[in-house]
Homo-oligomer: A and B are copies of this chain.
Amino acid sequence: MKFVKIPSIAIARLSVYARNLDLLDQKGVEVISSGRLADICGVNPAQIRKDLAYFGQFGVRGVGYYVQELLPEIRKILGLDKEWRLGLVGAGNLGSALLRHAEFIHGSYTFVAAFDRKPKRIGATIGGVDVSPLEAMSRLVKKNGVEIGVIAVKPTWAQDTADLLVKAGVKGIMNFAPVHLQCPSQIFVENIDFGLRLERLFYRLTPPQSKRHRVHMKSGWVIAPK
């Protein structure tokens, strides 16, 4: 038995490969060379081969990849061969955008419930999903088979929301609040934090302030005096 660690960046790249293979498939492309696929995905061909090698042998030497063979394999690896059932908490601006999502997220999922603590939002239907009170969460998560809770509430409510979702029985949480959530170890949490990404951009656009450091902004290399 051999142990191999699959870096999460490799998983992100698999998602990118799947998207582009999907587009190629829609265009009727049947076979693609690893060089061409790499170009489209913005990586190098060796990277694609390495990422795929974690999961088995794909592609034909001297030919490339058969789109209709590789795509379903990657979809299976990523868990995109089933429809995931999502429940949203927080039907404000961002939450509503997520429910009406189509342009920004494309994947194998569907929102089957939405919750909000504000009475004025309860009873609304957004993107085809009814907004229910928090009190209904436990019941609706079970009834509708919600697997993943999506947190789009204010930071001050995020931890309480996570606790409620875990108690209701979700397996994973997608957190849009800029808060470090404390969850039991068997719950998978992914954070999407706009602020962190914006600040990374600010940092890269900021000329180094200190005379003690000069930073090559594009590469992230710092030239330090010692």
- Shortest beta-carbon distance from A99 to chain B in Å: 9
Question: Would you call A19 and B55 a contact (CB within 8 A)?
Answer: no
Within 8 A of B (CB), among A100-128: 100-101, 103-109
Q: Is A147 within 8 A of B93, CB to CB?
A: no
Please pick, from B101, B153, B194, the residue contacting A105 in the complex, using a CB distance under 8 A: B194
**Complex partner residue of A200 from B15, B84, B97, B223, CB under 8 angstroms:** B15
User: Is A6 touching B222 in the complex (CB atoms < 8 A)?
Assistant: yes
Does A28 sit at the interface, judged by CB under 8 A?
no
Given A154-B103, A222-B4, CB of A206 within 8 Å of CB of B16: no
State A3–B171 Cα separation when bound (angstroms).
43
> Out of B6, B106, B205, which one reaches A172, CB within 8 Å?
B205
Among B2, B104, B203, B206, contact of A226 (Cβ-Cβ < 8 Å): B2
Over the window 135-162 of chain A, the binary record of Cβ atoms lying under 8 Å from chain B Cβ atoms (1 yes, 0 no) is 0000000000001100011110000000
Contact check, B42 vs A225: say whether CB atoms are below 8 A apart. Answer: no
Knowing A92-B103, A100-B93, A201-B148 are in contact, say whether A1-B225 is a contact too (CB < 8 A). Answer: yes
Interface contact A199-B15, CB-CB below 8 Å: yes
A36 at the interface (CB under 8 A from B): no
- Sampled A-B contacts (24; CB under 8 Å): A4-B224, A7-B220, A8-B220, A11-B200, A19-B178, A42-B180, A55-B210, A84-B198, A92-B97, A94-B94, A94-B97, A101-B194, A105-B198, A107-B199, A109-B198, A109-B202, A174-B197, A188-B201, A188-B205, A190-B197, A190-B198, A190-B201, A192-B192, A192-B194
